[in-house]
Amino acid sequence: MTDENVDTEKFKQCLPNSMRLSSLDIYETASHFYIIGTDSTKIKYHVLKLDRNADQTFLVGEPNHSYTRKDVDELLSTISSSSVVTSQKSRSSGNALLQTIKGAYGILGALLF
């Protein structure tokens, strides 16, 4: 399929507004990844929490509402209050909140076999 055959406006209408994210920031601790996405207006934010320690199951959480920038800042502050915000060098020391990727774009998917 070429770009000429893709009706992007029709495609956008099929997606719920909550799925139209224009930018992603990824944070991590020793036990979780936090993916924070925002729409193009930077008014609505969505948070996806991935458990990186689950052995046999894929544990993911996404609250069923959108956040404001203030809400996201408070969430990150809460996460980092139980850990120390740190640089890449001291990442191996344990429970640290680390922003690993800023301003990412992409598609996230998971398959369970």
Spatial CA neighbour of 37 closest among 108, 93, 111, 92: 108
Question: Does residue 57 register a pLDDT over 80?
Answer: no
Instruction: Determine the average pLDDT of the residues in 80-107.
Output: 61
Question: Does residue 19 register a pLDDT over 70?
Answer: no
Q: In this predicted model, what pLDDT tens digit does every residue of 62-82 receive, in sequence order? A: 767 889 999 999 989 888 876
Report yes or no: 79 and 29 within 8 Å, Cβ to Cβ. Answer: yes
Share of the chain above pLDDT 90, in %: 6
